Chain A
Amino acid sequence: MTKSKKNVKRVGETHVNAAKERFPGAITDVFWAAEEQPVLTVNADSAPDVIEYLYYERGGWMPVMVGNDERSLAGVYALYYILSMEEEDPCYLMVRVEVPADTCEFYAVSPKVPAAVWSEREVQDMFGLHATGIIDNRNLVLPDDWPQGLYPLRKDTMDYRFRPEPTRDVENYEFLKDTGGHHTTTLPMGPMHMTSDEPGHFRLYVDGEDIIDADYRMFFVHRGMEKCAESRMNYDTVPFLAERICGICGFAHSTAYVETIEQAQGIEVPLRAQYIRSIILETERLHSHLLNLGLVCHYSGFDTGFQHYFRVREKSMDLAEMLTGARKTYGINLIGGVRRDILAEQKTATLKYIEDLRSEVNNLVEELLSTANFINRAAGVGILDPKIARDYSPVGPTVRGSGFARDARWVHPFDGYKYIADKHKPITQDTNDVKGRTLVRVGETLDSMDIIQELLQAELPDGPVLNDKATVQPHRYAVSATEAPRGEDLHWSMIGDNQKCYRWRAKASTYSNWPVLRYMFRGNTISDAALIVGSIDPCYSCTERMTIVDVKKNKQQVVTKQQLEDYCRTRTHSPLDM
């Protein structure tokens, strides 16, 4: 590395040059999609190697891969492997791989970089592009009874309102199990409970009380939002849809979406709006972390603590309502800025709220940490091995609890965080367990309050909070990420020539965290399962239904969420009568 700094003109250029040097002839085109986002078009056969090199040797992590039907633009399908370069020269880098429209085949990256596996499975489902050599060839998104050969996100296949007739009645999804030679039979159970709002199906393979292996299935309630946005909504109304992806981190999603458009089109956001976005994002983090800390109390049998966390959390909801006009789904993001200013009296009131919250939260944290139950239940449980974490790119407190300083706010500072990035750093723990992840959340809750104070007390220029004078051009794309309470929310969008999104890809933070859950389950007992799932902070009803297979006795049994929760708290009266 003798290259002088002078030659480095653009963000990400060091990675581009290093990849060119290492793989001569593999990279056919380089351009910058946005100011700080290089795009490398790579030959199909060298893509896995280039991505492996960037991922493991240059400090890359992979949030998601985006598939796009570009047949009407370039005659091919395109895959964008998005890499978050987090060591030197941090940036988001896209590796573009073209997939011929006639063969629809590409070389899978997942054998070399397992983090790509969910995205590649999704591209197989949604676009019918076959990943040769993929490590897991099962459906991810599409249900078992979906007609073969109907690929929802191809531009020429179906209207977004089309509901095909179910083609078969039997489940043909195979659950993975790696139980070290034990023979098991599996009965189809579920797959979901009609009343649960967010169903997922879990299978634990157990030997007595110990979990040997686990697998699960999601996407029973895939909402088809991306298709809906592409066909029905205008690109400027999508922020309101994006906000409804998640009931907790909605603002993080709408911010991520509007910033993809702003980045791609070079729209300047007023400074004041950048600060306001960060303040609201931190308000959102406050209520989400307080909710999760309350749940940790609940699952370690300390229900009084749970009630108190929820009492205090209500203050953060009030704060959000005062600042934005709604408790949730704030609806204040627009492309180019925000719709509401923070007025002087609101600023004073916010600072008052933060003061109250700080003393309350300090009290509660002290109580939680001095509860013997909590340490007993959380320490050493649900270990996420840093090696597994490195392979699968999990995000948020899940990865920070395993010692990695991944936090989009400080690694790729955006919005108001840009101006205070030197005073903060990601909060990490290196115990790799549920306790570590909880302590990360505790630290971040306190840090959030500092951030809100710092941002509010900064000398802000007066002026508009919305820049609505921008012009947009079709077919430009960019990626943008925000740090939601559970980790990085990442969006990718391309505007078409009809006032709509040509393609919008929204990756929620938990999408990155599910693949590692299997490894976190292994070696724990059934009573820890609810606690472990809770420690990645998904929506809780995902554990609504769980099948337990005893690998020695070859028996199956369904345990309800209530039984599992009770067992998690009391640790007596096992729900298993095997």
Chain B
Amino acid sequence: MLKTIKEIFRTGDATVKYPFAPIERPPYARGKPEHDVAACIACAACAVACPPNAIQMKVDPKGGTITWSINYGRCVFCGRCEEVCPTKAIKLSEEFELAVMDKNDLEETCTYPLQRCSECGTYFASAKEVDYAVRILRQGEDDDEKQRAAASATICPKCKQKADAYRAKRRSALMGVQQ
């Protein structure tokens, strides 16, 4: 009994002033994911990795846009999005006080334009993603290859397939002539 009372005096107050005073979180604590609008290329890697589907992508094929959205109400703060992002456009911040008065405020969205195919004119991928691919392709060594790759970057997979098929047909026809 006496020991318990001594212990009470020794330890004093265990509580902290939070929420009336700010509380310190350790470094690397995982909080709200912050989206860098400029760095994001709308490639959807985060949407694929997100376990609770808090991050989703929605394509509007008529309007030619792709919309990235996050719902902080679903987010489990695992940080997989940060890990898989190729351009470091998502970073987990230290902010953890996310309560809102209106549920709709939990959702954030960002809309990006889609790229039209330079052959058939349909939208096929995020414009910034195509641009990102071109920039990577330009870093190659072979100048010829670089140019060809960059030139074909704006062609949709369907048209590429078609072009490949025609080329193959032409080649086999040519070979037939030679024989």
Contact = CB atoms under 8 A, between A and B. Distances in A.
A237 interface: yes
A339 B28 CA distance: 12
A326 B3 CA distance: 34
B26 to A, nearest CB: 4
B11 interface: yes
B4 A325 contact: no
Most central of B8, B25, B26, B29 by chain A CB within 10 Å: B26
A233 B11 contact: no
A38 interface: no
A193 interface: no
A326 B77 contact: yes
B32 interface: no
A329 B79 CA distance: 12
A172 B83 CA distance: 51
Contacts of A366: 3
A311 B77 CA distance: 26
A178 B11 CA distance: 51
B29 A311 contact: no
A174 interface: no
A240 B52 contact: yes
Interface string A318-340: 10011001100101000000011
A363 B28 contact: no
A308 B7 CA distance: 9
Interface in B28-59: 28-30, 49-52
Contacts of A325: 26, 28-30, 79
Interface in B1-35: 3-4, 7-8, 11, 14, 25-26, 28-30
Nearest to A305: B4
B161 to A, nearest CB: 25
Given A233-B51, A329-B76, A304 B4 contact: yes
Contacts of B8: 304
A321 B26 contact: yes
A543 to B, nearest CB: 28
Interface in A230-260: 233, 237, 240-241, 244
Interface in A22-58: none
A370 B1 CA distance: 9
Contact of B11 (A240, A311, A370): A311
Nearest to B26: A322
B78 interface: yes
Contact of B83 (A318, A322, A339): A339
A398 to B, nearest CB: 29
Contacts of A305: 4
A244 B51 CA distance: 12
Nearest to B13: A311
A314 B8 CA distance: 16
B81 to A, nearest CB: 12
B83 A240 contact: no
A314 to B, nearest CB: 7
A318 B25 CA distance: 9
A339 B84 CA distance: 12
Contacts of A322: 26
A145 interface: no
Nearest to A325: B30
A367 interface: yes
B26 A331 contact: no
Contact of B14 (A237, A244, A311): A311
Contacts of B28: 325, 340
B51 A326 contact: no
A92 to B, nearest CB: 28
Contact of A367 (B3, B25, B30, B80): B3
Interface in A506-560: none
A325 B26 CA distance: 8
A161 B7 CA distance: 54
A241 B51 contact: yes
Interface string A286-315: 000000000000000000110010010010
Contacts of B76: 240, 244, 329, 331
Contacts of B4: 304-305, 367
Given A240-B78, A326-B77, A367-B4, A331 B30 contact: yes
A120 B118 CA distance: 62
B45 to A, nearest CB: 14
A521 B83 CA distance: 50
A17 B83 CA distance: 48
A240 B51 contact: yes
B30 A326 contact: yes
A233 B28 CA distance: 27
Interface string A334-349: 0000011000000000
Given A240-B76, A326-B77, A331-B76, A367 B7 contact: yes
B7 A326 contact: no
A361 to B, nearest CB: 13
Most central of B28, B49, B51 by chain A CB within 10 Å: B51
Contacts of A370: 3
Contact of B78 (A233, A311, A314, A331): A331
Contacts of B77: 326, 331
Interface in B110-158: none
Contacts of A340: 28
Given A304-B4, A325-B29, A367-B7, A331 B79 contact: yes
A314 B23 CA distance: 14
Most central of A237, A339, A370 by chain B CB within 10 Å: A237
A244 B78 CA distance: 12
A365 B170 CA distance: 86
B86 to A, nearest CB: 16
Contacts of B7: 308, 363, 367
A363 B80 CA distance: 41
Contacts of A329: 76
A53 to B, nearest CB: 43
Contacts of A321: 25-26, 29
A304 B3 CA distance: 12
Contacts of A339: 79, 83
The 5 closest A-B pairs by CB, nearest first: A237-B51, A240-B51, A325-B30, A311-B14, A331-B78
Given A233-B51, A325-B26, A367-B7, 16 more contacts: A240-B51, A240-B52, A304-B4, A305-B4, A308-B7, A311-B14, A314-B14, A322-B26, A325-B30, A325-B79, A326-B77, A331-B78, A331-B79, A363-B7, A367-B3, A367-B4
13 contacts: A237-B50, A237-B51, A241-B51, A244-B76, A311-B14, A321-B25, A325-B28, A325-B29, A325-B79, A326-B30, A329-B76, A363-B7, A367-B3
